[in-house]
Amino acid sequence: MADQNKRSFWQIMLILALALLGCNSVQSYLDTYIAAQPTPTATPFSVEENVSELFVSNAQMTVGDTTDAQVGVVQIVGAEISIQYRWTTSGGEITQGQGTCCITYQAPNAPGSYQIALTVTYGDQIVQRAAVVQVEGPVVTVEPTPTSTPVVPTVTPDPTDVPLADAAAYFARAEDRYTRREMEGTLADYTKAIELGYEPLANAYYNRGYIYYTQQDYAAAIDDFTKSIELNYDPLGLPYYNRANTYYYTGKNEEAIADYTRAIELEYDPLAYIYNSRGLTYRKIGEYDLAIADYTKAIELGHSPLSWPYYNRANAFADKEVYDQAIADYTEAINIDPANADAYLDRGRTYKTIGEISLAKLDFNEVLILGDDLQKKAAQTEIDELAAP
């Protein structure tokens, strides 16, 4: 699990909102909306450091297939406001779970690479998570696995500790357990495949590292990603990218930037996502010009959804107090996604900062129409402040 040295507040408890543990039990906390107070504020809490990477059960899909996607979160019990989730996709459909920590995604009927994206909002904090799925055409024939697999009688359950023939069999069973979200068994089988010398060994280390990564065991994930890099995993940019993400979540920003940069040098696709992620890291350490440059590159490369790098670049311009550019980028994000309540809210705040009160009110009122409960609450607070003597 992730380091928790920053989570010593008595009000905070750890709730991993993974489908493996059951999303409904977590959602009972998230759906509880506390009545608005005169000046509601979020309990001190860094969303960026306490929302995990987006986990997709099956990233290799066939047209029309469904898979689950979810994030792990730290939830604050007794907070005045709740965490909000908004899911989007560049292709396919969110069929269940919109507004919750975990959803069901259905692939489109056209093969290709598609992004599942999530925006998490808590107070005035907004973080973004994304994952890519590969969708292939209908499978006409299935080649048998060229390794022996023990036949288990159908009248008895499959023992979880049954010895298998070789490293390839353990690797294959690990993959099967992963699709069924049996994470302990998946880790055990990948470990056994490594011990038996599975080839290519880099694949076993990378896959085990990714499971550790989704379980937020970041130290173990870094070790395995590093080993897969040393063993020349193909494509090599992938473990660099995910090790960068892991460094990011553990606060090792310089290491994250170095790995994002290496993934870019190796031309790991889609590059737009890496530039956007490195931009987030640069902004996190106050390197706003470098963040702006990376968001600009993500825009040029056609990041999907395109509104994300425009919105992120607007935030960086606002950090620099370059308000005209911030407003221009918030406006472009709105033009791309007219229902983007976050962009309306932050553009309104920028207008408020520069004294354009009438324009700020227009944006805040738009949020009252488009936003979720949390966004509407924030907009109403801004409107009340403007009305105060």
- All structural domains of the chain, each given as residue ranges with its CATH number in brackets, are 1-138 (2.60.40.1080)
Instruction: Of 317, 314, 319, give the one whose Cα is nearest residue 335.
Output: 314
Q: Is-contact 309 295, C-beta < 8 A? A: yes
| Res 100: pLDDT | 77
**What is the reported pLDDT for 159?**
53
Average pLDDT score over residue span 199-217:
95
To the nearest whole percent, how much of the chain has pLDDT over 90?
Answer: 55
Report residue 378's pLDDT band, with 50, 70 and 90 as the boundaries: very high
Tens digits of residue pLDDT in 46-64: 667 667 777 777 777 776 7
Average pLDDT (17-46) is 34
What pLDDT is stored for residue 157 in this prediction? 42
Per-residue confidence (pLDDT) for residue 73, from 0 to 100: 62
pLDDT digits (tens, 9 = 90+) for 177-189: 998 889 999 999 9
Q: Is residue 78 over pLDDT 60?
A: no
Mean pLDDT of 301-315: 95
pLDDT of residue 82: 67
pLDDT score of 64: 76
Bigger pLDDT: 161 vs 1: 161
Average pLDDT over residues 352-377: 96
Residue 270 neighbours by CB under 8 Å, 6+ apart: 113, 132, 301, 303
Check if the beta carbon of residue 120 is closer than 8 Å to that of residue 71. yes
pLDDT value of position 133: 73
Helices marked H in the chain — which ranges?
23-30, 47-50, 167-179, 183-195, 201-214, 218-230, 237-249, 253-265, 271-284, 288-300, 307-319, 323-336, 341-353, 357-370, 373-387
- pLDDT-based confidence at 161, cuts 50/70/90? low
Report CA dihedral (312, 53, 2, 196) to the nearest 10 degrees: -140
- Spatial neighbors of 322 by CB under 8 A, at least 6 apart, are none
Locate 309 and state its tokens: 């790098």
Instruction: Say if residue 76's pLDDT is above 60.
Output: no
Q: Which residue is it, tokens 């670049």?
A: 313
Between residues 3 and 326, which one has the greater pLDDT? 326
Residue 152 has pLDDT above 60, yes or no: no
For helices 307-319 and 288-300, what crossing angle results, to 10°? 160
Average pLDDT, the chain: 80
Res. 209: pLDDT tops 90? yes
Query: If 0-12 CB within 10 Å is exposed, 13-18 middle and 19+ buried, where does residue 54 land?
Result: buried
Per-residue pLDDT reduced to its tens digit, 261-300: 999 999 998 899 999 999 999 999 999 999 999 999 999 9
Residue type, 319: D
Statement: residue 39 has pLDDT above 50: no
Q: Which tens digit of pLDDT belongs to each residue from 187-207?
A: 999 999 999 999 999 999 999
pLDDT at position 59? 73
Residues comprising the chain, all counted: 389
| HSE of 177, CA atoms in CB hemisphere, 13 A | 22
pLDDT recorded at residue 80 = 52
pLDDT at residue 74 in the model:
52
Place of tokens 């406006």: 331
Span 24-38, mean pLDDT?
A: 30
Q: What is the mean pLDDT of residues 222-240?
A: 97
Which amino acid, 376? Answer: K
For 17-97, strand residue ranges (E) read 55-56, 60-62, 66-70, 73-76, 84-89, 93-96
Distance CA 1, CA 12 (A): 16
pLDDT of residue 53: 76
In this predicted structure, what is the pLDDT of residue 81? Answer: 58
Residue 45's pLDDT is 55
pLDDT tens sequence across 95-129: 777 887 778 788 887 777 778 888 887 777 787 88
